[in-house]
Amino acid sequence: MTEKRNGGTVMIFLLREDRSMFYLRYHRKLVSKCGLAIAVPGEIAGLYEAWKMFGRVEWAQLIQPTITLCEEGFEVVKSLAKDGELIEEGDIITNEKLGQTMRRIAQDPMSFYTGSLAQDIVDDIAEYDGIITLEDLAQYAPKIKAPLNISLDNGDFTAFAPVPPASGVVSNFMLKVLDGYNFGPEDVADDENKILTYHRIAEAFKFAYAKRTHLGDEDYWDVEDLVRNLTSSDYINDIRRQINDSFTQDIDYYGPTFDLDGNDTMGTAHMNVYTSEGSAVSLTSTINLYFGSKVRGSRTGIMFNDEMDDFSTPGTSNSFGVPASPANYIEPGKMPMSSMSPTMIFNRNGDVAFMTGAAGGTRITTAVAFVTMNSLWFDMHLLEATDTPRLHHQLVPNELRLEPDMDEAVENGLRAKEHDVTAISYVGVVGTIINYCSSRDFLPKEGCLGAVSDGRKGGAPSGF
């Protein structure tokens, strides 16, 4: 979670799940669908810590809408009713046990980690052969850190994003590499220019995902020098010089570190909040895959995560096709790498000009970068910036994935540059708030906030 307080302070709250105290060697097939897939949940502790520092509404009052949804039910939307015949779009679903759990959290949020609720959670997980203990829950603590930031000369912006094990440095690196091309609306105005621009974007994505393979939890893996490089103008200028405008390259050219042995957007959501006082929050929340570990607690009604899949296991790839990387191997207490990239971009006056983030696993970083470029550099209205067909490249597999409705001429042009082009249903689900104005300066004006919730998954912006 990236947070900016009125007055200029920007903080990062890492609410990330972590590995329990006890190291476990496990089979990759068990990682996403059983109790062993569950990492120590961190969201309640993190949100409570943020509330203690900055909250003004009573904690219990904040929890009440969730309790109401659990007990009175919510309407099934299209994305939840895709398959099967048990429920249909428009049906009402309740979860009374989760409602009871939320009432306990409303009274005492730390009971999740040290109280009677903690015992119920441990028992729920153990029922599905999980190994999280009361000690694991009691020792969990969210981390508050200073964010990474980069300057973007094209528009005179500064972008803030979270440190590893989040992937803010990855999406920021993409933007910084592409910042040097000084893109403008003319670079996507016709097929010829768009082909070159999209090729450069794809190449920046490939370099970024190569660098991501060296990243891990900074409290367990020395990433200081790499992060410094990934935010350094000299290093990034050198990377940009390695991009060949005529053709793409093989995987090894980009310098990844994989340990190799010879999907849809999942259980993630993103939200941005901007207040009349100038405070802002950009928050991404996840249980990883659809319905997480597929374990719902019989005592608590909690749908548990499968965040262990975000760690690397030697000789394997995770559910998003990312090969194992030594920096992300499992260790007790360690947080796994995540693609989450809640991002805030400030104008030259230090005001929030743009807030964004996404759901979609490895597609988060590329979606965040793409929508940001569309809006800030290509001068698209925020809705157009969000709706425009996207591209995605995560280096492995070495495929350039294009959304439906991409211009055929652009697709053919990218093939001519030797990209292995494949189709993908959609690249991430982005939520964005922008300070609109009539020029690219994005100077704040009264009443000029705009917000878009990506139509690829549904949802809608709200204001009050």
Identify the pLDDT of residue 368: 98
Q: Which tokens hold the place of 196?
A: 């070159």
- 288 is an annotated ligand-binding site residue: yes
Is 9 a known active-site residue? no
- 67 is an annotated ligand-binding site residue: no
- 339 is an annotated ligand-binding site residue: yes
Q: Could you tell me if 34 and 130 are in contact, meaning their C-beta atoms sit under 8 angstroms apart? A: yes
- 310 is an annotated ligand-binding site residue: yes
- 292 is an annotated ligand-binding site residue: no
Q: Could you tell me if 174 and 183 are in contact, meaning their C-beta atoms sit under 8 angstroms apart? A: no
Identify the pLDDT of residue 457: 84
- 439 is an annotated ligand-binding site residue: no
Identify the pLDDT of residue 33: 58
**Fold of the domain built from segment(s) 145-261+340-453:** Serum Albumin; Chain A, Domain 1 (1.10.246)
**Chain mean position to CA 207:** 19
Count Cα atoms within 13 angstroms, Cβ side, for 191.
Answer: 9
Give residue 130's identity as a one-letter amino acid code. G
Print pLDDT tens along the chain (464 aa).
Answer: 766 665 555 666 666 556 543 333 333 344 455 899 999 999 999 999 999 998 999 999 999 999 999 999 999 887 777 656 678 888 999 999 999 999 999 999 999 999 899 999 999 999 999 999 999 999 999 888 889 999 999 999 999 999 998 999 999 999 999 999 999 999 999 999 999 999 999 999 999 999 998 898 888 888 899 999 999 999 999 999 999 999 999 999 999 876 433 344 468 899 999 887 888 899 999 998 888 999 999 999 999 999 888 888 777 766 666 667 888 888 888 888 889 999 999 988 888 889 999 999 899 999 999 999 999 999 999 999 999 999 999 999 999 999 999 999 999 999 999 999 999 999 999 999 987 653 344 444 556 788 999 999 877 888 77
List, in order, residues 6 or more apart from 371 with CB less than 8 Å away: 356, 358, 385, 386, 390, 430, 432
Identify the pLDDT of residue 85: 65
pTM of the prediction? 0.88
- 374 is an annotated ligand-binding site residue: no
Identify the pLDDT of residue 6: 58
Catalytically annotated residue among 101, 248, 265, 268 = 268
Give the Cα separation of 50 and 142 in Å (integer). Answer: 10
Count the neighbouring beta carbons within 10 Å of the beta carbon of residue 207. 26
Residue 268: what are its φ and ψ, rounded to 5°? -130, 150
Identify the pLDDT of residue 11: 65
User: Taking the domains of the chain in order of start, what are their residue ranges?
Assistant: 19-139+287-328, 145-261+340-453
Count Cα atoms within 13 angstroms, Cβ side, for 74.
Answer: 14
Q: What per-residue string of b and e applies to 108-118 under the rule 16 or more CB within 10 Å gives b? A: ebebbbebebb
